[in-house]
Structure 1
Amino acid sequence: MLVPRPESIEQWSVTKQERESLGGSPKSTTRQFKAYAPGFIPIDVKYLPQMPDEEQRRYLFVAIDRATRWVYLAIHENKSAESATRFLANVLANAPFVVRTVLTDNGKEFTDRFSSAGERQPTGRHPFDQLCREKRIAHRLIQPRHPQTNGMVERFNGRIAQILRAERFVSAADLQETLTRYLWAYNHRIPQRVLGHMTPIEKLRWWQTERPDLFVSRVDNVTGLDT
């Protein structure tokens, strides 16, 4: 049986912790934020809880644009290099702007920086790196054992974790529907202090008006959760 849902999906984001993670703590309202342009994308992956109708857990890949906080999600059966590369390809197909840089951790799904012999320079033969090179995207790696370097996407994953703790899901489809609804609300309905109280989609539209050269499609054509 499902735990009762909030009346609206936005209610998942009204806690003090949520407000602070969306726009910083109240003390940070006077902080000066650098006006990054769209196109810098931190990417991360997290476990999803196993659903009653699943034989194993699946993985949620998350990409977030640093300038606009626009988020793209995809659920994959594993976190292999092939899955990570396919996720990046889907990000590129759905982002309305030119992706210039991606930031990831040092997991084997993203890089061959670490091998059985220890740390080394990435060889460039990893499928994820090959796609980056093909699309002329800079692939940056966070410093090992410093996940806070990828803090933006980690904070978003924290919001997903909050939803997962608060809900009881009866199936994989139930989980997917919930994530789809939250993703839409996050991108379209939840203003963020760091964006000048705009939503990510509103900020994308602002950037498209100011810098149309950074965009490859209309913001209105942005899609939702990919599976």
Structure 2
Amino acid sequence: MKSRTSASVERELERRAKHELAVLRHVEEVSGSVAATCRYYGISRQAYYGWLKRYEEEGAEGLRDRSSAPHHAPTATNVEVVEKILWLRQQYHFGPQKITMYLKRYHDITISSSGVWRILHKLGLGRLPASQRYKRNETRWKRYEKQRPGHALQVDVKFIEPLGQTGKKKRYYQYTAIDDCTRLRVLRAYPKHDQKTAIQFIDHVLSKLPFQVEKVQTDNGSEFGQPFHWHLLDTGINHVYIKPATPRLNGKVERSHRIDSEEFYRLLESQVIDDVNLFNNKLQEWDDYYNYDRPHGALAGSTPYERLKQKTQDRVCCTSR
């Protein structure tokens, strides 16, 4: 990074030196007039005589070692802030908006997302990896959310392959439930992927969430078949299936799995984890961070738990009226 930047600066200084030398020679060899040359090149006489003085004192080298960068830049971003921006970009691949939220929340640093973008662009980090860039507008789907906690719960399963395994590899499955309104989540890993496991997971979810669930939404996977369906109805919870081949209808849980891949599993690549209990310990730590500490872009920088408190207070206020 630094070598590329310094090389470009050297090329620019060399180009400017050649231009200044060409101006000086134009007076001697072509026009014979400082005024005519300055008009031809669109420069001031002051600039010309400044170059001439440096050339007479130091030769051609005196023209190339002057940078146009100001000696003092009072509005320049503090180097520690730049380092934090660089770390968040390289470690988590956060965009400018998410970096702005993190700096404000955890470091009490206020900087605009456009300011972050300019710093990233200057450092050559303006583009994310292809897999993490936003889709074009015409292929995006409009966001929506339910207005009260528990109105709809999206549930899905993510296949995970434990890290650092040797010999015959085990398979584990991350079951995920996310509240449509608050984005509050419950995660758990299981070594099996069937209806019995799905029922076990949904019972775990209902015991963990601090509000009543009215509806559960799933895809048409076999693990969410009739036994799972009737189990929910028996507990007084409606169960709906999304239309086949339309994962966007479960978009919040799908986006949640992408966040898991980018911000959790990618950082575990150097660790050896081959036990479901250890997986669940790690998942619980990550889930607690997601629910209570991680600012969420779709929630204007709030955490899911903060959104839950806000929605709860709003309902209390409405009821009291």
Please confirm whether the aligned pair reaches a TM-score higher than 0.5, indicating the same fold: yes
- The Cα of 1:94 is off from its aligned counterpart by 0.9
| Conserved 8 A contact 1:188-1:200 | yes
1:128 aligned onto 2:232 = no
CA contact (8 A) 2:158 2:173 kept: yes
Give per-residue Cα distances to partners, 1:142-193, cap 9 Å, x unaligned: 1101111111100110111223234222123554443222211110111223
Displacement of 1:50: 2.7
> Is the 1:18–1:159 Cα contact (8 Å) retained in structure 2?
no
Distance 2:299 2:187 in 1: 20
Matched, 1:187 2:291: yes
Offset, 1:14: 5.8
In structure 1, give the amino acid aligned to 2:185.
V
Report matched runs for 1:24-35 at 5 Å: none
Note if contact 1:72-1:91 (Cα within 8 Å) is conserved in structure 2.
yes
The answer to whether 1:46 aligns with 2:147 is: no
1:164 matched residue in structure 2: 265
Highest RCO, 1 vs 2 (Cα 8 Å, sep ≥ 6):
1
Partner SS state of residue 109, structure 1:
helix
The count of corresponding residues between Structure 1 and Structure 2 is 183
Q: Could you say which structure has the higher helix fraction? A: 2
Match of 2:237 among 137, 151, 160: 137
Distance of aligned partners of 1:129 and 1:174 in 2 relative to their CA distance in 1, 3 Å threshold: closer
TM-score, normalised with respect to structure 2: 0.51
Deviations 1:102-130 (A, max 9, x none): 1100000002xxxxxxxxxxxxxx22112
Q: Does 1:104 align with 2:205?
A: no
Q: Secondary structure at the match of 1:103?
A: strand
Identity of aligned residues (%): 28
- Looking at structure 2, the residues matched to 105 and 170 of structure 1 have their Cα atoms a distance apart, in angstroms, of 32
Which runs of no fewer than 5 residues in structure 1 stay unpaired? 1-10, 112-125, 213-227
The alpha-carbon distance between structure 1 residues 13 and 141, as it changes in their structure 2 partners (threshold 3 A), is farther
Alignment of 1:144-223 (within 5 A): 144-162=244-262, 163-168=264-269, 169-171=271-273, 172=275, 175-211=279-315
Counterpart position of 2:77: none
